């Protein structure tokens, strides 16, 4: 703009005007003048005539006129810029460049051509030697108006350049979306809100922030986003000017100027439009960084669970801002056999709510958390809350790991705790391996193939009887022993009458030949019924 302001055609003849214009093209842009023409009696004549001939360019101008893209050969970008004055073409500049120049350079060249056109018109008047005072005064007035229009254009471009600089500096300062909102507030003097795609407020700049921030329903939000997408630019909705933050096809959010008094200016609208551009780049950048960090965390979790170099593990965790030198626990979970992103999101939210420092990943069909400190099983299961159906979520927690080398064993123990919890009569909830007591023995014996023979030895007669008679003798004995031999509690748990319970217990003693009053017998039967329930969770 400074270079354009120094261009002066005032004291030049036609040759001088073309010379000044040719030099100014190189000063204002990356382009050069391929050819120049003066309009005489409706025809383009090469001017000055000393320039080389360009028959192909001459033909294109005759056929397609003086404005727009033009083939200058050599694979370069070419454009014909008319030199107009009061809608009358005074001449034409054909410019070329290796690549298409930025829009602001094209705008400057058009302004230059308009000035040159005006100057040519003025010279044409002089050349015709009209000498009429009114006509001379009119030309002077036209020049003055043109200069005023140019001054106005320059002023507008300077304001827009300032907007670019302020918003660019906000992004460069590294303050993210909040920095963009603050800069936009400084430029417009209007409160600014940045919302995510779902209508949640990400950040606010200026006074008058609503408390609580209004939240639309899902259907209302989708309608709003659809309307803004159809407008393809800022739109006034209620007391706000809204614009989509949309780097490509995906909508990342909405940028809002709060303007209940309808005072927004053209400069403010320009700032809003450019604000969405820089905000889209910033949010896309933040998302990319988050995805890279998430992938690094998942890779580290995978390596830790299968075993990796201790020093390397410490260094990788340090790079992610996580202290792996503190005691850790492996937590595994899935919901209805799935370890999907919904459960992963819920697990991360729950760990954060419980103030746990953690690494998260997916391994072996499980969502996995490596937590700095032992989470409370019940609290963790409850905190899953708003994720998948809580009743379907099963969680297993391994034992303490003082060094990364112990994490693979803790992962095995967490899976065993998970499997034991899954075998309960009512699967679901959370279990820590070091709290399972007797069930750890059952699980270990089951892996060694010793549980089934033990169950058969003590309950074989009852199992055969239940199978042939469709009865519930094993379940009756199990509930009786779980209730410590209390008749009333046992009958209530089985939903039968006390007399029915007495009959069944007598029949059990008859079928097995066991004395239920004998301490050792009761112990072995209790162990056998618990193992039976472990092996038959639906029993």
**pLDDT tens across 240-271, in order?**
999 999 877 788 889 999 999 998 888 888 88
Sheet with 366-372, side-by-side order of all strands: 357-363, 366-372, 328-335, 393-397, 429-432
Share of the chain above pLDDT 70, in %: 90
Range name among 284-298, 407-421, 521-535 with the lowest pLDDT average: 284-298
Range name among 100-104, 289-293, 415-419 with the lowest pLDDT average: 289-293
Range name among 108-122, 192-206, 384-398 with the lowest pLDDT average: 384-398
What letter would DSSP give residue 392? G
> What pLDDT is recorded for position 287?
72
**pLDDT tens across 457-470, in order?**
888 899 999 899 89
pLDDT of 32 > 90? The answer is yes
> What pLDDT is recorded for position 131?
53
**pLDDT tens across 53-97, in order?**
889 999 998 887 778 899 998 889 999 999 998 888 999 999 999
> What pLDDT is recorded for position 37?
93
Number of neighbours of residue 68 by Cβ within 10 angstroms? 12
Question: Cα angle at 385 between 384 and 387, to 5 degrees?
Answer: 75
Range name among 158-162, 177-181, 304-308 with the lowest pLDDT average: 158-162
> What pLDDT is recorded for position 171?
79
Burial of 340 (0-12, 13-18, 19+ CB in 10 A): middle
> What pLDDT is recorded for position 407?
93
Instruction: Report which of 536, 527, 531, 528 is spatially closest to residue 446, judged by C-alpha positions.
Output: 531
> What pLDDT is recorded for position 134?
59
Full 3-state SS string of 139-189? HHHHHHHHHHHHHHHHHHHHHHHHHHHHHHHHHHCCCHHHHHHHHHHHHHC
> What pLDDT is recorded for position 164?
84
pLDDT of 449 > 60? The answer is no
Report the chain's mean pLDDT, rounded to a whole number: 84
> What pLDDT is recorded for position 519?
85
Most confident of 10-14, 292-296, 300-304, 436-440: 300-304
Which residues sit opposite 79 in a β-bridge?
69, 95
Number of neighbours of residue 149 by Cβ within 10 angstroms? 12
Mean pLDDT of 211-238: 88
**pLDDT tens across 104-163, in order?**
899 999 999 999 999 999 888 887 765 555 565 676 778 888 888 888 888 888 888 888
> What pLDDT is recorded for position 339?
54
Sign of the alpha-carbon dihedral angle for 173, 175, 176, 180: negative
Question: Cα angle at 91 between 89 and 95, to 5 degrees?
Answer: 120
Mean pLDDT of 479-491: 89
Between 132 and 292, the higher pLDDT residue: 292
pLDDT of 438 > 70? The answer is no
When pLDDT is cut at 50, 70 and 90, the band that residue 5 belongs to is: confident
Rounded CA separation 217/226 (Å): 14
Verdict on whether the full-model pTM lies above 0.85: no
């Amino acid at each position: 703009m400074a270079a354009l302001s120094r261009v002066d055609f005032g004291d030049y003849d036609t040759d001088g005007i073309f010379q000044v214009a040719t030099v100014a093209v190189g000063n204002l842009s990356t382009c050069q003048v391929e050819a120049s023409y003066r309009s005489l009696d409706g025809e383009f004549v090469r001017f000055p005539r000393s320039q080389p001939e360009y028959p192909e360019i001459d033909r294109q101008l005759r056929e397609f006129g003086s404005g727009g893209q033009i083939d200058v050969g050599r694979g370069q970008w070419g454009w014909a810029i008319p030199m107009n004055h009061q809608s009358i073409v005074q001449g034409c500049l054909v410019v070329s460049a290796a690549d298409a120049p930025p829009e602001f350079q094209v705008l400057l060249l058009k302004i230059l051509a308009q000035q040159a056109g005006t100057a040519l018109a003025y010279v044409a008047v002089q050349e015709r030697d009209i000498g009429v005072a009114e006509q001379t005064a009119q030309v002077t007035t036209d020049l003055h108006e043109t200069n005023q229009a140019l001054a106005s254009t320059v002023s507008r471009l300077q304001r827009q350049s300032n907007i670019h600089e302020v918003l660019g500096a906000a992004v460069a300062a590294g303050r993210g979306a909040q920095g963009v909102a603050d800069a936009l507030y400084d430029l417009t003097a209007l409160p600014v809100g940045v919302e995510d795609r779902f209508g949640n407020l990400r950040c606010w700049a200026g006074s008058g922030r609503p408390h609580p921030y209004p939240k639309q329903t899902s259907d209302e939000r989708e309608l709003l986003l659809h309307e803004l997408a159809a407008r393809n630019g800022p739109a006034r909705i209620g007391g706000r000017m809204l614009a989509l933050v949309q780097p490509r096809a995906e909508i990342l959010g909405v940028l809002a100027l709060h303007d209940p008094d309808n005072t927004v200016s053209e400069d403010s609208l320009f700032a809003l439009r450019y604000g969405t551009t820089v905000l889209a780049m910033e949010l896309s950048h933040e998302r990319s960084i988050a995805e890279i960090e998430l992938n690094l965390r998942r890779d580290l979790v995978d390596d830790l669970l299968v075993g990796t170099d201790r020093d390397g593990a410490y260094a990788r965790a340090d790079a992610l801002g996580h202290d792996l030198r503190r005691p850790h626990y492996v937590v595994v979970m899935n919901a209805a056999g799935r370890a999907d992103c919904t459960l992963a999101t819920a697990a991360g939210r729950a760990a954060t709510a419980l103030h746990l420092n953690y690494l998260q990943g997916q391994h072996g069909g499980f969502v996995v958390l490596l937590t700095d400190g032992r989470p409370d099983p019940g609290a963790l299961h409850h905190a899953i809350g708003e994720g998948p159906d809580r009743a379907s979520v099963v969680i297993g927690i391994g034992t303490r790991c003082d060094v990364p080398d112990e994490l693979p064993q803790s992962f095995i123990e967490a899976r065993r705790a998970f499997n034991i919890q899954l075998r309960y009569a009512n699967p679901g909830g959370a279990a820590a391996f070091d709290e399972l007591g007797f069930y750890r023995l059952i699980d270990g014996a089951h892996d060694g193939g010793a549980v089934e023979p033990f169950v058969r030895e003590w309950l074989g007669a009852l199992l055969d009887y239940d199978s042939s008679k469709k009865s519930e003798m094993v379940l009756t004995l199990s509930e009786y022993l779980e209730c410590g031999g209390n008749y009333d509690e046992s009958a209530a748990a089985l939903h039968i009458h006390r007399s029915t319970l007495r009959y069944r217990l007598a029949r059990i003693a008859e079928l097995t030949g066991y004395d239920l009053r004998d301490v050792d017998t009761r112990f072995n039967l209790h162990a056998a019924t618990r193992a039976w329930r472990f092996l038959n969770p639906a029993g």
